[in-house]
């Protein structure tokens, strides 16, 4: 059958695996097909209640003759159908072929955090985007922003709830994508506001340390917040910083130089 008028549905543990398996069966490149995610896989929490991903590859029309190939199906893994088949009950999410690979991590992150919020009985709108390229690692973090009303419960004392949610989401998304990713979750711009506050605090306490000639100790902070203090004052010629104590009570001390 002419592959120019065909679709192929693939079931696999992850979206990426399903797409790659479909491209191999069609013997086509990613640019030669449109991709619809019919089921992102229902990962569940830590594998509990998970099910496989399902995608549909639609061969673009008017492909060069050299790209035509006959497609066969493998029982239990793929279903070969015509484009005019009945639409699935789950509304598919279409991803343009040109940027399908780039958009899949964002889709997985957004769906993962949305599912976690549902399980937490919290209503919120979730958006995912890429951050700037890390000059050292050469990679981009996935930024997930949650907006809505009365979301302070998601932050918790010293950001403990937000950091826990971020940790769980990162584990699930990394497992789904088959690679370790950097994922940052923010709630109504909380992290950016907190970072500005910490930078101001660092300079204010540093001035106190210089003025009094005595070291100043800040309140306990999670690792990411302590790092902000250390980076903000690393070029300060009159003070140095150190962390001490055990988690979750580890603190930063600002010490005046002699």
First CA to last CA across the chain, in angstroms? Answer: 82
E-state strands within 67-191? 78-82, 93-95, 125-133, 140-147, 183-187
Per-residue confidence in pLDDT tens, the chain, 258 aa: 444 558 888 888 788 888 888 888 888 888 888 888 887 776 555 444 456 788 888 888 765 554 444 444 444 444 433 333 333 333 344 444 446 677 889 999 999 999 999 988 899 999 999 887 766 666 788 999 999 988 988 998 878 899 999 999 999 999 988 889 899 999 999 988 999 999 999 999 999 999 999 999 999 988 889 999 999 999 999 999 999 999 878 999 999 998
Domains and CATH numbers, the chain: 3-95 (no CATH), 103-188 (3.30.300.20), 191-256 (3.30.1370.50)
Count of CB atoms within 10 A of residue 28's CB?
21
Cα–Cα distance for residue pair 197/68, rounded to 1 Å? 60
What is the four-CA torsion angle of 88, 90, 94, 100, rounded to 10 degrees?
A: -110
């Amino acid at each position: 059958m002419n592959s120019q008028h065909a679709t192929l549905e693939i079931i696999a543990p992850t979206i990426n695996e399903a797409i790659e398996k479909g491209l191999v069966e069609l013997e086509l490149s990613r640019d030669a097909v449109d991709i619809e995610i019919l089921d992102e896989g229902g990962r569940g929490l830590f594998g509990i209640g998970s099910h496989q991903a399902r995608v549909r590859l639609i061969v673009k029309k008017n492909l060069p003759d050299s790209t035509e190939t006959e497609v066969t199906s493998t029982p239990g893994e793929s279903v070969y159908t015509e484009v005019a088949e009945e639409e699935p009950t789950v509304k598919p999410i279409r991803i343009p072929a040109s940027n399908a690979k780039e958009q899949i991590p964002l889709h997985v992150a957004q769906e993962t955090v949305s599912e976690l919020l549902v399980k937490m009985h919290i209503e919120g709108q979730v958006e995912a985007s890429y951050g700037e390229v890390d000059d050292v690692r050469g990679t981009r973090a996935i930024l997930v922003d949650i907006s809505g009303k009365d979301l302070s419960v998601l932050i918790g004392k010293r950001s403990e709830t937000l950091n826990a949610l971020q940790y769980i989401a990162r584990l699930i998304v990394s497992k789904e994508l088959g690679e370790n990713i950097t994922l940052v979750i923010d709630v109504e711009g909380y992290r950016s506001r907190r970072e500005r506050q910490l930078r101001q605090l660092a300079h204010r306490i540093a001035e106190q340390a210089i003025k009094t000639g005595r070291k100043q100790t800040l309140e306990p902070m999670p690792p990411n917040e302590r790092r902000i203090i250390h980076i903000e004052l690393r070029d300060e010629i009159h003070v140095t910083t150190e962390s001490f104590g055990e988690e979750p009570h580890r603190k930063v001390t600002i010490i005046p130089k002699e």
